[in-house]
Amino acid sequence: MFVKIASLAATAALLTVGAAHADGTLNVATGGSQNMVDYVTDYLGPLFEKQNPGWTVSVVGTGPGDAGSQAIMEKLKAQESSDKWDLDVVVTAQLQTGKMVEDGLLQKYVADIATGKMATRDTSKMSLGMNVEGFVMPMFHSQTAIAYNPDLVKNPPKSFDEIKAWAEANKGAFGYNGIKNGMSGVAFTAAWMYAYAGDREQLMNGPYDAARKSTPAWDKALADLKAFNEFVTFTPGNAGTLDMMNRGEIAMGPVWVDMFYSWQADGRLNPALKLFLPEPGMPGQPYYYAIPAKAANADMARKFIELATSPKVQAEGIVKRFNWYPGIDAGNLKDELSADDWNKLFSDITPDELASKGLPFPLGSYFAEINEAYEAKVAN
The residues, any chain, with a CB within 8 Å of residue 344's CB and separated by 6 or more, are: 261
138 touches 123 (CB < 8 A): yes
0.85 surpassed by pTM: no
Query: pLDDT by residue (tens digit) across 104-125?
Result: 999 999 999 999 999 998 889 9
Q: Considering just the CA atoms, what is the radius of gyration of the chain in Å?
A: 21
99 touches 308 (CB < 8 A): no
Amino acid letter at 263? W
- Residue of 239 and 12 predicted with greater confidence: 239
Query: pLDDT by residue (tens digit) across 342-353?
Result: 988 888 999 889
* Sign of the torsion angle spanned by Cα atoms 297, 302, 303, 307: positive
Confidence of residue 322 (pLDDT cuts 50, 70, 90): confident
As a whole-number percent, the residues of the chain with pLDDT over 90 amount to 77
Mean of per-residue pLDDT scores for the chain: 91
Whether residue 180 has pLDDT greater than 90 = no
Give the per-residue pLDDT at 46. Answer: 97
Give the DSSP H/E element, type plus range, for residue 144: strand 137-148
Whether residue 12 has pLDDT greater than 80 = no
Report how far apart, in Å, the C-alpha atoms of 61 and of each of 37, 66, 90, 95, 209 are.
6, 13, 10, 18, 36
The residues, any chain, with a CB within 8 Å of residue 22's CB and separated by 6 or more, are: none
Mean pLDDT, rounded, for 298-321 = 96
Give the per-residue pLDDT at 205. Answer: 85
**What's the rounded Cα separation, in Å, for the pair 37 and 14?**
14
Report the number of secondary-structure helices (H) and strands (E) in the chain.
18, 13
